[in-house]
Amino acid sequence: MTAFARFKAIMGGSAGNLVEWYDWFAYSSTSLYFAAHFFPKGDATAQQLQTAAIFAAGFIARPAGAWLMGIYADRAGRRAALTLSVALMSLGSFAIAILPTFAQIGVLAQLGLLAARLVQGLSLGGEYGASATYMSEMAGAKRRGFWSSFQYTSLIGGQVMALLVLVILQHVLMKADLAAWGWRIPFAVGGMLAIVVFWIRTGLDETRAYLNEATATSERGRTITLLRQHPREFAIVLVLTAAGSLAFYAYTTYMQKFLVNTAGFSKDYATAIMAAVLLAYMPLQPLIGWLSDFVGRKTTIAVGLGLGGLATYPVMTAISHSTSALAAFGLVMVLVLCHSGYSAVNAVVKAELFPAHVRALGVSLPYALANAMFGGTAEYVAEWLKQAKIESGFYIYVAAVMLVGAAAAASMRNTNITSLIADD
């Protein structure tokens, strides 16, 4: 494969991944504004607790999406799965954009919001495994850590875009208008972008690894084959994802609310701080990915999760007492710098553990299960502990899970040497 063809494939996969994650995070970034429209009873914390429950419900659908789309990607191809996933995401985003409120249709509004998030959960459950597999197979052996890191770069980019759209709306619209109807705009934008990406993905090339290996066996995409032949690899992906996803949602998605409800920053300041953090977080991914091609990907994951586990309690405690936006920015950056050891290379490490005929399923299914159990419940657990007046328990919880993930990473083989992705 030529350098240009590889670059085109990576950028094509990244663009779709970015839009998928933008649509997913638009919910979290705007929930401070629309929570009262769907859950009018109770104080701000109670409303956020209920919207966090809907956010977590979206994760319940992700294992089903991962399972179905993983099978589909291993049987019909990576490109077909990527195209289907973005179509579903567009549908969910448009649904939220036009959904009536509780004042208009009562409890049906809450059920509609739940249904839209479940559709988005199905989409994103399939997106991660398909895009991680596609980009890892397209990356090439020599710089696989570097090129595949753009999968997470675009994931963060989706969150950055969601926050930047909100920042623009905060400065263009009156606060009353943003709270009344302006929060719908990010969902409409996401739905339209997903249509554009659908068109782009129909023109992507299929990976050589899929064409050469996955079609040569009748065992492709079989769940029983995955569980019987690769139970250790399945467990490793589960544990690594539990640590990485819990930390990611604690450090980024929940952090915006943490800065408002615990540290006392205004919504505008919290949004600006997190937008700056994510903008700095993005370029760390290819840098760490490039480093992993030399020092080993298991090393970057073990060190990143280990340092993050040790830093979480003292750093989040310091953030809770911070009064300076600059200080808060620096403290959150400490956390995401640690997390980059995991995030930059997690997709390629997982893909390298499995042969092509069950690779998409092997990456996506344990990832989605761990996300549902740990990442999707992160905000709910944090809000629940805050309501119970033991907020620091959340810091301990995140730290403990990360340290378990670091131990799992240290015990795995060096996939730089033992990768099961066929070299091109």
Instruction: Report whether 278 contacts 339 (CB < 8 A).
Output: no
Q: How far apart (Å, rounded) are the C-alpha atoms in residues 20 and 126?
A: 11
Q: How far apart (Å, rounded) are the C-alpha atoms in residues 281 and 384?
A: 28
Q: What is the pLDDT of residue 301?
A: 96
Domain ranges in the chain are 3-418
Answering whether pTM is above 0.75, one says: yes
Q: What is the pLDDT of residue 11?
A: 77
> Domain 3-418 falls in which CATH fold?
Growth Hormone; Chain: A; (1.20.1250)
Q: What is the pLDDT of residue 243?
A: 96
pLDDT in tens, the chain (424 residues): 666 777 777 777 777 778 878 887 888 778 778 887 888 776 666 676 777 777 777 777 888 888 888 888 888 888 888 888 888 888 888 998 998 988 888 888 888 888 888 888 888 878 888 888 888 877 777 788 888 888 888 888 888 888 888 889 888 988 888 888 898 999 999 889 888 888 878 777 777 777 776 555 566 768 888 888 899 999 999 999 999 999 999 998 889 889 998 988 988 888 889 889 989 999 999 999 999 999 989 999 999 999 999 999 999 999 999 989 999 999 999 999 999 999 999 988 998 898 888 888 898 899 888 988 898 788 889 988 988 889 899 999 999 999 999 999 999 888 878 776 765 5
